[in-house]
C-alpha cells in the first residue's frame, strides 16, 4: 500500500539554527499539505500545494518558515531561525479527492 514518506523522523536542534523537513506524497496525489501538531492538540494547517503552486499559506509564519514543491512532487519545509516554540510534530499529507493520507511525521525539538 502506497504511503506518504517523511524524513527525518526526529530532529533536535538549537534555537537560531536552520532545519528542513522533506515529504514525498503518494504517487499521483496532486495536493500536498504541511501541518503542525503541538503536543496534546490537533494538527493545524501550515501550507497547502496544488501541484507546484501554493493554494493556502495563510497560517505559515513567513518570517521564518518557507515551503516549496518545485516539481510538483516532493516538498521541503524549512524553518530559519528555529525558536523554542517551534517544538512540535510536523505532519505531511497528500490527498486523493477529499481524503487526506498522512505520513509518520517529523518530531522537532528545539533546545
| Residue ranges that bind another protein, judged by CB under 8 A | 4, 6, 31, 33, 40-45, 48, 50, 55-56, 91, 93, 95, 98-105, 107
Nearer to another protein, 15 or 62 (CB): 62
Nearer to another protein, 18 or 38 (CB): 38
Which residues have a Cβ under 8 Å from the Cβ of 49 and sit 6 or more positions away? 31, 32, 33, 55, 67, 69, 72, 75
Question: Residue 47 CB, nearest distance to another protein (Å)?
Answer: 10
Question: Residue 93 CB, nearest distance to another protein (Å)?
Answer: 8
- Give dist(CA 30, CA 95) in Å, integer: 7
Question: Residue 48 CB, nearest distance to another protein (Å)?
Answer: 5
Amino acid at each position: 500500500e502506497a504511503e506518504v514518506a517523511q524524513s527525518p523522523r526526529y530532529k533536535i536542534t538549537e534555537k537560531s539554527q536552520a532545519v528542513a523537513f522533506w515529504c514525498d506524497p503518494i504517487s499521483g496525489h496532486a495536493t500536498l499539505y504541511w501541518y503542525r501538531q503541538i503536543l496534546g492538540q490537533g494538527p493545524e494547517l501550515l501550507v497547502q500545494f496544488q501541484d507546484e503552486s501554493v493554494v493556502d499559506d495563510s497560517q505559515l509564519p513567513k518570517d521564518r518558515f518557507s515551503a516549496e514543491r518545485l516539481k510538483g512532487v516532493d516538498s521541503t519545509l524549512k524553518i530559519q531561525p528555529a525558536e523554542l516554540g517551534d517544538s512540535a510534530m510536523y505532519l505531511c499529507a497528500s490527498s486523493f479527492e477529499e481524503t487526506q493520507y498522512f505520513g509518520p511525521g517529523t518530531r522537532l525539538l528545539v533546545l
